[in-house]
Amino acid sequence: LNRRLTEFGSTIFAEMSALAVRTGAINLGQGFPDTDGPEPVREAAVRALRDGRGNQYPPGPGVPELRAAVTEHQRRFYGLAFDPDTEVLVTAGATEAIAASMLALLEPGDEVIAFEPFYDSYAASIAMAGATRVPLTLRAPDFRPDLDALRDAITPRTRLLLLNSPHNPTGMVLTRDELTAIAALAVEHDLLVVTDEVYEHLVFDGEHVPLISLPGMRDRTVSISSSGKTFSFTGWKVGWVTACPALVTAVRTAKQYLTYVSAGPFQYAVAEALRLPDAYFADFREDLRAKRDLLSGGLADAGFEVFRPQGTYFVTTDITALGEKDGVPFCLGLPERCGVVAVPTSVFYDTPDAGRSHVRFAFCKKPEVLREAAERLRGLR
């Protein structure tokens, strides 16, 4: 393993899901739903497979149907216009979009500012590009970004901001005012911004504002999203980038040598998913809002301090009140103690000891599963 990657072992998600399988515990660790996405979308995938659409290499930028559907989605939800031929790129999930963006846009030695805790692929993607990450810590209880610290962190080497809102694992959603301030800094310092918006449709309090919609950001933002979260098909790995032609071309240049293309038949199905009526998106959000409230209540009853998420399908908690100090041993012992798997969020920080007593639970599970998990966790007291 080269020096850029020696600090990276196996991802926490694989480890915790393996632990769940080994112990038969309820898996509230890795974020994936226990109910698959809409039947008509699955049918669309079957039809594409059967009719021979996408069984051979799809076009490099993605099938035209999906690129068109992405632009319709951006117009419908945000009033944003993109050219499907030059401003959309289909990727192997958001993960590849993030990696390809880092590989395409960074020079070795460039600095990338990101708010920690961050999704684990960020650190690895920045490292693979030979760049340096500069973490800015989001602090409990509300995990708001410190915009003065952001201003202070910008140096002549800063090339890019890597933002995630709604934010995994904290559930923090950046406000329009915060995004406007971030945009002003990006313009002032001529920075690129890569925005990970995979939870764009999972906002319970507030609204999702794409940074690319703000003044000065149209030509310096790479917007990333994915079908995994919005449509509950995390295994399909269909994601996309929307950006100006120059940035899409740059990201595509890296992407074409990572996977070239992927998920042919699923691309057609995701095109149909993106065209589902507004009610699908609203019902999905309301369903998860109820689950957020259900699990948050159960965790509070079990003695956890709960940091109520504004978005995503994760809730972060503090275990200090349970007489615990460190989420890592706590999570490793949890399946034995009460048959539940969760994720220690300290693994998403660079700063030593940050988030040490924080533990993340996923609530994208059936209500009866969340109730059972909460019941088991009550046994910790």
Least distance (Å) between residue 160 CB and ligand GLN: 21
Nearer to ligand GLN, 70 or 347 (CB): 347
> Residue 168, interface with ligand GLN (CB under 6 A)?
yes
Q: Does 13 bind ligand GLN (CB under 6 A)?
A: yes
Q: How far is the CB of 168 from ligand GLN (least distance, A)?
A: 5
Q: Is 8 in the site for ligand GLN (CB under 6 A)?
A: no
**Three state DSSP letters for 100-136:** HHHHHHCCCCCEEEEEECCCHHHHHHHHHCCCEEEEE
Q: Residue written as tokens 């915009």?
A: 147
What count of other Cβ atoms lies within 10 Å of the Cβ of residue 289? Answer: 16
Query: Which H/E stretch holds residue 194?
Result: strand 192-196
Nearer to ligand GLN, 18 or 181 (CB): 18
Distance CA 282, CA 76 (A): 14
Site string for ligand GLN, 234-253 (x = CB under 6 A): --------------------
Stretch 64-93: interaction string toward ligand GLN, x if CB under 6 A: ------------------------------
- Cβ 31 to ligand GLN shortest distance, Å: 3
Nearest distance from C-beta of residue 135 to ligand GLN, angstroms: 18
User: For ligand GLN, which is the closer residue by CB, 31 or 54?
Assistant: 31
Nearer to ligand GLN, 27 or 296 (CB): 27
Residue in the block written with tokens 């393993």: 1
**Minimum distance, C-beta of residue 199 to ligand GLN, in the bound complex (Å):** 9
**Residue whose entry in the numeric block shows the structure tokens 């559930």:** 171
**Separation in Å, CA 148 to CA 178, 185, 210:** 11, 10, 22
Nearer to ligand GLN (CB atom), residue 168 or residue 232:
168
Report d(CA 132, CA 126) in Å as an integer. Answer: 7
- How many of the chain's residues bind ligand GLN (CB under 6 A)? 5
Shortest Å, Cβ 46 to ligand GLN? 25
Helix, coil or strand: residue 92: coil
The whole-angstrom separation of Cα 319 and Cα 112 is 31
Do 302 and 315 contact (CB within 8 A), yes or no?
no
CA 49 to chain centre: 28
- The DSSP result for 208-276, as a single string, is ---GGGSTT-TTTEEEEEEHHHHTT-TTT--EEEE--HHHHHHHHHHHTTTTSS--HHHHHHHHHHHTS
Q: Of the candidates 30, 125, 165, 195, which one interacts with ligand GLN according to CB under 6 A?
A: 30
The alpha carbon of 155 is separated from its chain's Cα centroid by a whole number of angstroms, namely: 27
Nearer of residues 10 and 56 to ligand GLN, judged by Cβ? 10
Task: Calculate the CA 77 to chain-centre distance.
Answer: 19
Min dist CB 18 to ligand GLN, Å, is: 11
Among residues 234 and 296, whose Cβ is nearest to ligand GLN? Answer: 234
Q: How far is the CB of 198 from ligand GLN (least distance, A)?
A: 8
31 vs 145, which CB is nearer to ligand GLN? Answer: 31
**Of 231 and 268, which CB lies nearer to ligand GLN in the complex structure?**
231
Strand duo 132-137 + 358-362: pairing: unpaired
Q: How many CA atoms lie within 13 A of 99 on its CB side?
A: 17
> Please, what is the minimum distance in Å from the beta carbon of residue 172 to ligand GLN?
14
Residues 6+ away with beta carbon under 8 Å from 254: 99, 100, 101, 103, 104
Q: Which residues pair with 164 in a beta bridge?
A: 196
Which residues, 208 to 227, sit near ligand GLN by CB under 6 A?
none
Q: Where in 332-371 is the site for ligand GLN (CB under 6 A)? A: none
Q: Which is nearer to ligand GLN, 30 or 357 (CB)?
A: 30
The DSSP code for 21 is H
Contact 230/278 with Cβ under 8 angstroms?
Answer: no
Closest distance of CB 13 from ligand GLN, Å: 3
Residues that bind ligand GLN (CB under 6 A): 11, 13, 30-31, 168
